[in-house]
Structure 1
C-alpha cells in the first residue's frame, strides 16, 4: 500500500515530532466541529488525518476502526490540508481526540 508523509507546514513548529490519527471520512466534520483546539487536519477521499505529537499511542488503545500512523506516514495518495491550527503548533491534543473518537465509535476508552 502506498504511504505518504503528510506535508509538513514550514511555518509551524513540531518540537514533539508528528504522528497521525486517521478516522473514516464520515466522522471528520463532527470531530472538527466538536474539538476545542484542533491542529492540522488532512484528508483524502476516505480518511481524515489529525496531526498529534509523536507517541500519542503510548498507553492508549485507539479503537480498531482508527488508523494510527507513526511519523505521520499515511496510506493516502493525495492528502490535502483541510484545517489550519489557531497557533504555531500543528497538534491536536491527543486525549480529547481519543475520547471523542471513542465516543463516536461507541467504544469504551482504555488506557494503561
Structure 2
C-alpha cells in the first residue's frame, strides 16, 4: 500500500496521477504548490484528492489510479518494490491541486484540456 508520511491529513481520500519521470521536475517547478510526489519505475505519482478524474480526460500516457493502490511488487532478491517519496508538502496536506496539475500535464503532452460538466 502507498504510505503517506506521518502527520498528513487525507480527509478527502486520495488518488494518484502518474506522469513520466522525464516531466516530473518540470511539473514540480511550475506548480504553485505540490503535495506528496512519489517516484517508481519511470513514473512520478502525484497525490490528488479522490475523484480528481471526474469530468476530465487525463492525457494519454498519464496514469490515474483510484483509491489507495497496492504498490508492492517484488524485486530481484525478494525485496519489495514501491515508490519512494521525492517531494513532501510544505504543510499538512498530501494533495497536489488537480486542476493546475491537469493543465501542466496537458501542456507537456501537447493536447488541449477536455472536461465535461455532465455527471
Per the normalisation by structure 2, the TM-score is 0.86
RMSD: 1.3
Q: What is residue 66 of structure 1 aligned with on the other side? A: 62
Structure 2 equivalent of residue 94 of structure 1? 98
Q: 5+ unaligned residues in a row in structure 2: which ranges?
A: 74-80
1:78 aligns with 2:82: yes
Look up the SS of the partner of 2:93 in the other structure.
coil
| Candidates 25, 28, 33, aligned match of 1:32 | 28
- Contact (CA 8 Å) 1:19, 1:70: kept in 2 or not? yes
What is the alpha-carbon distance in structure 1 between the residues aligned to residue 105 and residue 83 of structure 2? 20
Task: Please list every run of 5 or more consecutive structure 1 residues that lacks an aligned counterpart in the other structure.
Answer: none
**What is the Cα deviation at residue 74 of structure 1?**
6.1
- In 1, the alpha carbon distance for the partners of 2:15 and 2:37 equals 12
Q: Deviations over 1:3-57 (max 9, x none)?
A: xx32122210001000000001101010011101000000013100000000000
Equivalent position SS for 1:33: helix
Greater gyration radius = 2
Length-normalised TM-score, structure 1: 0.91
